[in-house]
Each structure stands twice: as C-alpha cells, then as structure tokens.
Amino acid sequence: MDLTIFAILTQDGIASGAVYVLLALALVLVFSITRVIFIPLGEFLAFGALTMAALQSGKVPQSAALLLVLGVATFLREAWTTLRAAAGQVDRGRVLATSFAKFVLFPLVVVFVARSAEGASWPMIAQLLLTFAIVAPMGPMVYRLAFQPLAESTVLVLLIVSVAVHMVLLGIGLYIFGAEGSRTTAFSDAAINVGTLTISGQSIVVIVTALLLIGALYLYFDRTLSGKALRATAVNRRGARLVGIGTTQAGRLAFLLASTIGTLCGVLIAPITTIYYDSGFLMGLKGFVGAIIGGLASYPLAAGGALLVGLLEAYSSFYASALKEVIVFTLIIPVLVWRSIAHPQVDEEEA
C-alpha cells in the first residue's frame, strides 16, 4: 500500500466512521436513558435514505402512510390510557385533543404534502425537511407503542422487544420500498485536490455535519434544561423521578433524538453508497460495536470506537475485502472479554 492509497482509504474510513459515530452516540443515548438496546435504529437510517430517494425521483414515499398508521395506533393507545385514568387525575379533553393533533392531524398533513410531491422537482432543502418530518416522528411513536408499556422490565425483556420491533420494521421496509436499492443526489459535487488525493465534497459534508451535530448535542446536554433532565435520567432514573423529572417523557425525547440522528445518517450516507431496505441493520451494528467499546455509557469512548470501526473497515476492504465485515465485528470480542474481566458483575438499577 502506497501513501496515496493509504490516504484514500483513510478518507473513506473517516467519512464512514463519522456516520458510525452518530449511530453509536444515538445508541448510547437511548440505552443510558431507557435501558433499551435500540436495534431498530438502522431501520430509521434506511427509511430516511429511501424516503429521500423516493422524493428525488418524484414518487410518493410510502413511509408517509406508515407514519399515519403509527400515528393512529399511538393515538388509540394514548386515548385508551387517558380514558382509563381517574377522572380528576388528568384533563381528558385537553390530553385527547393534544394527542389527536400530534398523532393524527400532523401525519395527515405530512401525507398530503408528500402526495403533492408526486412528479414535482422540489429543492433539496424541501426534500430534506419532508424526509425528517416523515421519518423522525416515528421514533417516539415506536417508543409509546412497544417500549413504554414495558419501561420497568429488565434489560433482557427490552432487548427481546427491540429485536421484535426490528424484524417488524424490516418486513415493513421490504413491503413499502421493495428490494431494489437507491442512491440520492450528493449535497455537493465539489472536490478538493490535495496532491494526488481528491477529497469529495460529499465526504466533507458528512464529516462537517457529524462534527456540528456532536457540538450541538454537547451544547444541548450542557446548556438546556431538557438536556440536563436527560442527563439526570441517564445517571439515576429513580433519583430523577424523585426530583420531578418525568422519565417517560425523557424516554420519548431520547427516541426522538435517536430517530432524528438515524434519519440524518441515512440522508448523509445515501449519496455515497446504495441503500437497500435492510442496509441500515448492518450499519447500525457497526455503530453498536463503537457503542460497546464505550460500554454503552461513555460518549467519547463510543465516538472513538465508532471512528476506529470506520477506519478498520476501510483498511480491511483493501487487504481482505471478502472478510472486512468479519474483521470489523471481531473487534467486539476482545472488548467484551476485557469488560467481563474489569467489570465481572453489574447490578441493574431498579427502575
């Protein structure tokens, strides 16, 4: 391997690693707050990329209909919970009206806007906004339907539910998007030449966006009241409840942030590689390897581990392309062995 090839592989590894870093941070965020290993995160990546591709091809993204179905199901569950509550415990009329607006009216508006995009050539910023409006709200809806009723269960039960949700979303993805892969238009066609190395504009967009998002998350958790509430919930769920922090609301917000990050990863990676309905699962697993390196608790270690995964994947694709996935996932074995030795037993905190 000469210096030019090494530089090209490093560029590819950093660009891919930036996406894995975001996925790893989202996994750590969700697990630290809800104790859910969010396996379906990869589906949000795939849904985001394929929704964007459908909009760019002038088609109506079927994911908008999925949003409406999830919204109606969520509203029915919220209505059932509200009507079962004691009469003086909640303002039923206000709660039902708010739920109807969030889970039925908003998806209906999104479906109407998505249908108006058929055959149209919208600016990329409008396509981006509509993609996020379709895919990102699915995160808290999935939490309300699948995880919130089992919030007090063990990590193992939540993991089983997470796998089940992943399988359901995978099947839905195949049904609404089909088995064909798609790519989207690059955000930038520019290229920077550094000697013999050409750095694509899309790679720069991915890296810069990842850095900006990491900075935004740092400011959010450090400077805002809701961010500090999420941090408190992650540190001690029982203590957070004792001081008046709603852990249920924290879980919903964590899933919204995770689904937004997953959607962002999808629209960032789609111009670089062809995305299929099941591509997100493999990418999510690579982000999970980074999260495991961080112990599903440390954001800096998870980010560093995910970047290492991206670089290792790039270099192994040159030396042994047929075994690159095996090499990447083998990285998790020494990490798990080391953690089992360093932390032989972890008592799960009672929720």
Helices 106-116 and 63-84, packing angle to 10 deg? 170
Would 347 be classed as within a structural domain?
A: no
The 3-state DSSP class for residue 276 equals coil
Would 121 be classed as within a structural domain?
A: no
Q: Are residues 185 and 313 in the same domain?
A: yes
In whole angstroms, give the CA distance from residue 45 to residue 260. Answer: 9
Give the CATH number for residue 171. Answer: 1.10.3470
Domain that holds residue 142: 3-61+127-342
Q: Are residues 143 and 222 in the same domain?
A: yes
Q: Are residues 106 and 226 in the same domain?
A: no
Would 177 be classed as within a structural domain?
A: yes
Domain count, the chain: 2
Q: Are residues 305 and 238 in the same domain?
A: yes
Would 281 be classed as within a structural domain?
A: yes
**pLDDT over 90 (residue 66):** yes
Would 351 be classed as within a structural domain?
A: no
**Hey, which of 39-53, 81-95, 114-128 has the most confident mean pLDDT?**
39-53
**pLDDT over 70 (residue 347):** no
Per the prediction, the chain carries an average pLDDT of 86
Answer yes or no: pTM beyond 0.85: yes
Q: Are residues 86 and 231 in the same domain?
A: no
Select the more confidently predicted residue: 60 or 245: 60
82, 100, 169, 180, 252 from 61: Cα distances, Å: 32, 23, 16, 14, 25
Q: Are residues 183 and 96 in the same domain?
A: no
Query: Shortest CA distance to 17 belongs to which of 203, 197, 190, 185?
Result: 203
pLDDT band at residue 22 under the 50/70/90 scheme = very high
